[in-house]
Structure 1
């Protein structure tokens, strides 16, 4: 479970090999996790589309091959075209045969495409991930990739005049929104699930929603975490205390009290156990028996509420439980290990699964850093904004004075409009448990730009396959989305 939680921002994504970890709010392989679905038939094969390296410089003539998938099983001539947008991880063809959108495609006789995001998965526009080569990794270039794919494919397959609907969850939900806004002549409508639309450096609201979500289990969980954090803080002050923490929390290394980044990474890792489970709580990703299938907010708070042990012991039990669940022998919290991983510029490196790329996008476009600045959360104040922005400098050599980040955030919000986005024929589903709803649209903008706030559900829950155990509000949300699609197709 190596050095992973360092980016607990919008990238819950750094799983070491077969492990579990969070970085910038994303699991490695993408913030929108593929449904763990046991599909016995064949999956759509890789297909390749020639893209421009730089859509904004006509003198740049280099091209590259972008991966995509097609499913025409349900298509009837004249039907709509559904486009699922890839995000900050490998595009998974399992989405082509399962998930809510396949149900909609069957009902409305849609042709389905999934396009992998540039720089992720097998879509490699450049020879390596060195910092100079990362300049073509932007949301704007990704949107142009999609526009080029749509226009070229429409002409090639005689789809001109067909109605395209974009689907996306999390960052791809943002892209789905922005495609509808920027290319209304190409995109007829959009379903943008759990889509953060505001770029922000200090995303302290993330832990606010985590705290509120933990509170739904009862009055004991959050105070118990706070007591554990207080005890941990006291133990960090002495050699004996630090040795106790190493043993109790199964740390891979001794704690160096002089290394503030290590300590910040340690505490954010322990917070990450709760952040990750909250974010994906009961999202219906896992098939029966899948790794981590049954870990919920209630599971972790049951540990914390055990009055037979001290809060610190319960906090350590949560950590050990997560380590064991994901087959990790010890908790690697070393900041230097995170930086070493992120600094690997090879496509063969572990960070190339998405960690290095998404971190670059957070440093240059979005921020989304899940800091400890919210003073009522129970995880301490160990990981402020500077802890996260320093990683931009260490991994990419970007300015640590925040100019690059702040300039990028200002441009992103001015370019796309933030929560003031002007768009029609779109719906934004969000879950009340999901911390990312704090950066999304949760109330209707107009009659034709609407929101569904799904009480009790987590990140992108509406996108996953239906289950008999789904909350009534989640079942209703899928019905509303289906009806909206039908309404849009008649407009």
Structure 2
């Protein structure tokens, strides 16, 4: 779930935040694995859901999409619920992924519920600011509870039936929060790569990225990246717009006197490394990335190759990823990003989940991946103020820094941040995934174990096993399986 606003505005597949025309998913969007066996996919199903769970007198409803896989189910088996997140829900998850292996083992009935306002689940006629007030994690959790209760009745499930929630990235947070807020509805939860602590300025993101660059080739890669961004800054300061426009294949001429455009460009180039680190190696192909073979090693090899100057090597990285994504030019301008952010129609080709997700960051979570961390190589052109300005420009003057900070504080009070008190939840994080900085990385209580996997990236444990997987990743999947088995034997409490 990479971060938040315009430091992320170009989409990777199913949305993902894109603010600032960053070509990678800017938060931690969980993309589906490939359907390698070409298994038949379940059809769309629809559940009549309440619009506003906070108002019992509000009887308005809408149709929420979900999927079912009952091919493993035997009476008396548990129910496994995959939680949808900040993008279109994919039925491929119903036939692939590690949770399906657990379902087969336990004869589980499987559901996937799409998150309100994403994909085909449209609670309102459009996404104007009045309607977006119905988009929140609290409403999403209440959706899960209402859905679970209805499925118990619809499928004639016994009162003792145990539900287990699964989620990765933001849905990983929802899985833990569902167990926290509705313990009578869900027996246990598997929370992968979940940011639990809301924070306006997520400067630690670049700290983890910097560590990944250093670990790849000592200080050499980090220094190469730092030199490139330093030279970029000098060129901008010298007004060398024409050469930069050509060198980085920009869709529109760079105006070095427009600070928002400069910030957007620099953050887009930083995202070349941020996105690669987040989805590095172990699950990059499974996440559907067109640049699946491009890893941190690939980028560091270029940055330390000695070909041309440091800025030339950064341009080579940019060209490599543009080619992989099929981009003819880099659409980097602030106005282009804002146009997408302000699009209110669900039917718009620009509706990739960006307007919705960034609204959630402005109204609940923050998580802005800024350049405010001192010891990082990307310069300081996308500070917190840059992200806050996008909230204001996209949603109105109410969404200023004071509002965002108050909303973030309220979220931590509501759920408890990293200190949430809950039972039968396992938290899994990878050391290379920058989002682990907002989650739990050490076990505090035996009822909420933490699995911290050295060398893996975002949501790696959720994807199908491969022979090339790190031993720690293989061990993590097995341990999660053992926990599920043990917890399904425990009584409700």
- Counterpart-to-counterpart distance in 2, 1:384 and 1:403: 16
Show the counterpart of 1:463.
462
- Counterpart-to-counterpart distance in 1, 2:353 and 2:429: 24
* SS of residue paired to 2:351: helix
Q: How does 1:145-160 map to 2 (within 5 A)?
A: 145-159=143-157, 160=159
- Counterpart-to-counterpart distance in 2, 1:123 and 1:289: 22
The unaligned stretches of length 5 or more in structure 2 are none
Show the counterpart of 1:238.
238
| Contact 2:116-2:140 at 8 Å conserved across structures | yes
- Counterpart-to-counterpart distance in 1, 2:170 and 2:127: 21
Show the counterpart of 2:226.
226
Show the counterpart of 1:423.
422
Deviations 1:451-479 (A, max 9, x none): 00000000000001111111111001000
Q: How does 1:38-53 map to 2 (within 5 A)?
A: 38-53=36-51
| Contact 1:128-1:346 at 8 Å conserved across structures | yes
Q: TM-score, normalised by structure 1?
A: 0.95
Show the counterpart of 2:290.
291
Show the counterpart of 2:200.
201
* SS of residue paired to 2:164: strand
- Counterpart-to-counterpart distance in 2, 1:19 and 1:135: 20
Aligned-residue offset at 1:20: 9.8
Deviations 1:260-311 (A, max 9, x none): 0100000000000100010010232526997212111101111101113211
| 1:75 is the counterpart of 2:73 | yes
- Counterpart-to-counterpart distance in 1, 2:13 and 2:32: 17
| Contact 1:165-1:189 at 8 Å conserved across structures | yes
Aligned-residue offset at 1:134: 0.3
| Contact 1:47-1:69 at 8 Å conserved across structures | yes
* SS of residue paired to 2:319: helix
Q: How does 1:90-489 map to 2 (within 5 A)?
A: 90-159=88-157, 160-218=159-217, 219-239=219-239, 241-286=240-285, 291-399=290-398, 401-489=400-488
Aligned-residue offset at 1:157: 1.2
Aligned-residue offset at 1:6: 8.2
Alignment CA distance shift 1:300-1:28 (3 Å)? closer
* SS of residue paired to 2:116: coil
Deviations 1:350-405 (A, max 9, x none): 44221000010000000000000001100000001110011111111143531221
Deviations 1:63-94 (A, max 9, x none): 00000000011111101110000000000000
Q: TM-score, normalised by structure 2?
A: 0.94
Deviates more, 1:278-287 or 1:152-161: 278-287
Aligned-residue offset at 1:27: 2.5
Aligned-residue offset at 1:412: 0.4
Aligned-residue offset at 1:409: 0.6
> How many aligned positions are there?
485
| Contact 1:34-1:95 at 8 Å conserved across structures | yes
Q: CA RMSD for the aligned pairs?
A: 2.2
| Contact 1:27-1:33 at 8 Å conserved across structures | no
- Counterpart-to-counterpart distance in 2, 1:19 and 1:303: 28
Aligned-residue offset at 1:448: 1.2
- Counterpart-to-counterpart distance in 1, 2:34 and 2:83: 19
Deviations 1:164-216 (A, max 9, x none): 00000000000000011111111110000000001100000000000001111
- Counterpart-to-counterpart distance in 2, 1:202 and 1:118: 26
- Counterpart-to-counterpart distance in 2, 1:184 and 1:287: 32
Alignment CA distance shift 1:398-1:86 (3 Å)? farther
Show the counterpart of 2:85.
87
| 1:14 is the counterpart of 2:10 | yes
* SS of residue paired to 2:130: helix
Alignment CA distance shift 1:273-1:293 (3 Å)? same
| Contact 2:4-2:17 at 8 Å conserved across structures | no
- Counterpart-to-counterpart distance in 1, 2:358 and 2:396: 13
* SS of residue paired to 1:178: helix
| Contact 1:36-1:290 at 8 Å conserved across structures | no
* SS of residue paired to 2:291: coil
